[in-house]
């Protein structure tokens, strides 16, 4: 590719850091409080990606704020026990930064939790911009957060690639006019992501270095 790409935007959860067990546990804990024995692990997998508000509204519109509070309290209490970085992530992001790429995070998580995850995985010094749920009116797949990140970085859509583990990331990138890459380690599976026609699928994050023609160290 891809000499014209100079900007890489990453989703956070399930893409850079492995928060899958934390998120699944947090949903099971929260929903178990309200609906004992109703939700199993496979039932909450579809909830990975949308905002908490969207998910809990689909279950009980009247208890949304209460459920989010229960979720976040448990999520924060278990965060450092359950979160780790995916293989190849630190190396890839560091090498992209050294090669002069502009790097950002676009996530449906609130900033406080984003910063906690980045600090824990030692990724916190590597990103030029973070666009979190607090910063936008409309989350992915709406293009707003991706357009905002590009504006902050001074980047154009044709110079940018959006990397993520969910349909929201691929569709958000397409809606914003960027190139897109899905990650094969998505909890929803490689085949699921292929259904949204990303430009690339990464089997390991270091594949991004090959795509962007950055020499691996």
**Measured distance CA(22)–CA(99) in Å, rounded:** 33
Q: Active-site residue 11, yes or no?
A: yes
Q: Torsions phi, psi of 63, nearest 5?
A: -110, 20
H-only helix segments in 35-143: 41-44, 52-59, 64-82, 89-98, 111-120
Question: In the numeric block, which tokens belong to residue 61?
Answer: 């519109």
**80, containing H or E segment:** helix 64-82
Q: Torsions phi, psi of 92, nearest 5?
A: -65, -50
Helix/strand/coil for 16: coil
Residue of 11, 13, 18, 165 marked active site:
11
- CA nearest to 161, candidates 48, 169, 12, 33: 169
- Residues in Cβ contact with 65 at an 8 Å cutoff, skipping those fewer than 6 apart: none
- CA nearest to 91, candidates 205, 211, 214, 210: 205
User: Catalytic site residues?
Assistant: 11
């Amino acid at each position: 590719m891809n000499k014209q790409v100079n900007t890489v935007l990453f989703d956070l959860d399930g893409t850079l850091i492995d928060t899958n067990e934390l998120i699944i546990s947090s949903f099971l804990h929260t929903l178990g409080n309200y609906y004992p024995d109703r939700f199993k692990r496979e039932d909450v997998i579809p909830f990975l990606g949308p905002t908490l508000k969207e998910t809990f509204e689909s279950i009980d519109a009247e208890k949304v704020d209460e459920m989010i509070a229960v979720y976040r309290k448990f999520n924060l209490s278990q965060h450092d026990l359950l979160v780790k970085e995916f293989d190849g992530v630190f190396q890839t992001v560091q090498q992209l930064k050294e090669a002069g790429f502009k790097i950002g995070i676009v996530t449906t998580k609130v900033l406080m939790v984003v910063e906690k995850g980045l600090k824990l995985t030692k990724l916190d010094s590597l990103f030029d911009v973070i666009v979190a749920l607090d910063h936008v009116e409309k989350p992915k797949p709406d293009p707003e957060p991706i357009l905002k990140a590009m504006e902050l970085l001074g980047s154009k859509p044709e110079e940018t690639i959006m990397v993520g583990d969910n349909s929201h990331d691929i569709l958000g990138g397409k809606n914003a006019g960027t190139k897109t890459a899905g990650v094969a380690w998505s909890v929803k599976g490689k085949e699921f992501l292929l259904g949204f026609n990303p430009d690339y699928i990464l089997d390991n994050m270091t594949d991004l270095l090959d795509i962007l023609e950055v020499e691996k160290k």
